[in-house]
Chains A and B, each alone.
Chain A
Amino acid sequence: MDDTLLRVSDLKIHFFTYRGIAKAVDGISFDVQRGEALGLVGESGSGKTVTGMSVLQIIQLPGKIVSGDIVFKGTSLVTMPEDQARSLRGGKITMIFQNPRTSLNPVLTIGEQIDRVYRQHTGCSAKQTQERRFEMLEKVGIGDSIRFSKNYPHQVSGGMCQRAMIVMAIICEPELIIADEPTTGLDVTIQRQITELLGEMRQRINATEILITHDLGVVAETCDRIVVMYAGLLMEIATTKDLFSRPRHPYTIGLLKSIPRVDVDEEPIPLPGYVPNAYSRPAGCPFHPRCQFAEEICRQQEPALQEIEEGHFVACHLVEEVG
């Protein structure tokens, strides 16, 4: 496919610590098409954030990409020299983080922090940068951009901080935006605004997005396709429509059942148990200890990701039975 913007193939990221090797990501492959919004979904500790960070090549020791490749527009990011990778970061590929308050530097004004990103990647003069900053701030709905720029992060609300973060992330018109739980740590009402704003901004600059979240509601509204991760492995890849109407993996089914719904008269059923520890993932299918369908084969063999319908991949031995 020519339209592949990012291709992740057999990516393994391990953390080498005193306690042993934590396999945060252990062999995942997926493509991101140009212009789409891809949701990366999973519980805490499933390796979503690490995957996002690996695209930007900011995995810090003791973490290491031990195998696999990440190809952005035909160029491998894994083997790319650091200075080239740095010019991509914040330029062509950017990331938006959760908890906007802690993501901004408390001793610098918001304006200064935005300007730094833009000047670094474009080399524009201070005046041009300032104009561009005002323009972008106004686009994200900040009326008094001059005054806002002079504020320190603690002087404005969390939602405003996240708007500033979004400006930092899109001011250089990136092709790929990785949003790592961009609404976590915000009020529910603000979450909605930020989600919408992010979608609007993304469309305006025609960027591709990888949305990392555990919030299936946000994914349902904003993403075209969804990748479900569990314990560093892929469980299911499908279009949003397919995934919500015909989930095939028991984990996805469990996740969807655990969401309270107002339109159906059913109690939400929480998934029992926890995500396995990255140091000691269970043998076979990582989900089998929590899976109600688990059989002998699930305990012994790790299921491969198989395409059961066009564009719908599932990693489950019992996909025929469960589906």
Chain B
Amino acid sequence: MAQIKTLQPSLFHSIKTAFKRYDFEFYLLRRNPLTMIGLVIIVIVILLGVFAPTIAPYNPLDVAPAVRLQGPSTQHWMGTDDYGRDILSRVLYATRVDLSIAFSAVTLAAVIGVTLGAAAGFMRGGTDEVTMRLLDIVQAFPAFILAMGLAVVLGSGQSTIVYVVAFIMIPVFARLTRSEILSARERGYTEVARCMGATNQEIVFKQMLPNCMTPILVQYGLSMSYAFLDAAALSFIGLGVHPPQAEWGSMVNQGVGFIASGQWWMSFFPGLIMAITILGFNLIADGFRDVFDPKLRN
């Protein structure tokens, strides 16, 4: 009689077994250096954001007219702005703000979008039609224009950015989840679960969704980059975080007027860290997509 092969039981082995399903994928991830670079970038950026109060050499809000508009130096690595505030400190605090905006916005969008998509895909019929047509309407607008309009209506501020960015991202998550649920509906395990007396909620949340997580996570990574861009863009045009508080987009905006007169560092450094962060998230999402989409594997 066929027996399951018994190996020396150990904690290490059981952890390894749990992840065995993804072993090959992890292997590919490690093999793809760009993905690793992306991962390293993100980890560094997150650490910088989290420990900003510890790392920052100055208070980001301290005005010092004596040192205004100074270029990068050993005292101020990234120079100072027109109020004499230290750009490095402001960039670090801005990282904190932008990270929390992007994470909250994308998480919110994912939770709502996945729920809507799962409901539409599972219930089909009228629910599906209504949900998807409403999402069509949202997607029919150019996303950023819609975000601007909503931000104006809601009034600028950090929480507004979170809601607005989340709102324009909901359709992507909903569509993705719907298509995944539609295919999961036809799988044997769904039918078995139904036969064994599982309720609809259990079938959706405990049987189907765990099977749909991979593409949703990839989308989560991709959406992070867009969330940074959107949040910064909204702040750049003055609809986001209010001035004394540091934020990448508003810092870039603040420095724009000084580029012509040679004080490039005011816009350059916040723009640089934003670009690097977005690059990091894009690399990771790309790497994941390559791993989980066998067609793109080389």
Contact = CB atoms under 8 A, between A and B. Distances in A.
Interface of A: 56, 58, 61, 86-91, 94-95, 97, 99, 102-108, 116-117, 120-121, 141-144, 147-148, 150-152, 154-157, 159-160, 165, 168-169, 190, 193
Contact of B3 (A104, A144, A155): A144
Contact of B188 (A89, A94, A97, A193): A97
Q: Which 9 pairs, one residue from A and one from B, show the smallest C-beta to C-beta distance?
A: A90-B196, A90-B197, A102-B188, A89-B197, A105-B189, A103-B188, A95-B195, A107-B210, A117-B196
Interface stretch (B14-22, B72-80, B160-168): B14-22
B206 interface: yes
B211 interface: yes
Nearest to B210: A107
A155 B4 CA distance: 9
A94 B192 CA distance: 9
A90 B206 contact: no
Contact of B195 (A87, A89, A143, A193): A89
A284 B21 CA distance: 54
B4 A160 contact: yes
Contacts of A95: 192, 195
A155 B17 CA distance: 9
B2 interface: yes
Interface in B104-132: 124-125
A174 to B, nearest CB: 10
A147 B194 contact: no
Given A142-B4, A147-B9, A148-B4, A121 B210 contact: no
B10 to A, nearest CB: 12
B17, B197, B207 interface centre (most CB from chain A within 10 Å): B197
B25 interface: no
A97 B187 CA distance: 12
Nearest to B190: A105
B interface, over-half SS: helix
A83 to B, nearest CB: 9
Instruction: Give the interface size bracket for B toward A.
Output: 20 to 34
Contact of B192 (A88, A97, A159): A97
Given A102-B187, A150-B14, A150-B17, A89 B194 contact: yes
Nearest to A153: B189
Interface in B205-244: 206-207, 210-211, 213
Interface string B1-42: 111101001000010011011000000000000000000000
A86 B210 contact: no
B191 interface: yes
Contacts of B20: 152, 155
Given A152-B21, A154-B21, A159-B2, A97 B191 contact: yes
Given A141-B1, A143-B3, A168 B196 contact: yes
Contacts of A157: 2
A88 B197 contact: yes
Contacts of B1: 141, 193
Contacts of B206: 108, 116
A123 to B, nearest CB: 13
16 contacts: A56-B195, A89-B196, A90-B198, A102-B188, A105-B189, A105-B210, A105-B211, A106-B189, A107-B210, A108-B210, A116-B198, A116-B202, A144-B4, A155-B17, A159-B2, A160-B2
Nearest to A87: B197
Contact of A120 (B4, B197, B210): B197
Given A91-B197, A116-B206, A168-B196, A102 B21 contact: no
B228 to A, nearest CB: 31
B199 interface: yes
Nearest to B21: A152
A168 B191 CA distance: 13
A151 to B, nearest CB: 7
Given A144-B6, A147-B9, A105 B207 contact: yes
A69 B149 CA distance: 58
Nearest to B17: A150
Contacts of A151: 4, 17
Contacts of B189: 102-106
A219 B227 CA distance: 61
Given A103-B188, A105-B189, A116-B202, 12 more contacts: A58-B195, A87-B197, A95-B192, A102-B189, A103-B191, A104-B189, A107-B210, A117-B196, A144-B4, A150-B14, A154-B21, A193-B1
Contacts of B194: 58, 89
A99 B188 CA distance: 8
Contacts of A102: 187-189
A56 B188 CA distance: 15
A117 B3 CA distance: 24
A312 B191 CA distance: 34
Contacts of A120: 196-198, 202
B182 to A, nearest CB: 13
B131 to A, nearest CB: 18
Best-surrounded residue of B188, B198, B211 (most CB of chain A within 10 A): B188
Nearest to A147: B4
Nearest to B194: A58
Nearest to A146: B9
A156 B193 CA distance: 20
B23 to A, nearest CB: 11
A105 B198 CA distance: 13
Which of B2, B124, B125 has the largest number of chain A CB atoms within 10 A?
A: B2
